[in-house]
Amino acid sequence: ETSQNGLGGFFKRG
């Protein structure tokens, strides 16, 4: 089983 992460966890916001 795989789950999909968002990009927010990888790239800095702002």
Considering only residues 1-14, where is the footprint of other proteins by CB under 8 A? 1-14
Shortest CB 10 distance to other proteins, Å: 5
d(CA 1, CA 11): 24
Residues of 1-14 as b/e, b for ≥16 C-beta within 10 angstroms? eeeeeeeeeeeeee
**Residue 8: CB minimum distance to other proteins, A:** 6
The size of the interface with other proteins (CB under 8 A), counted in residues, is 14
List residues binding other proteins (CB under 8 A): 1-14
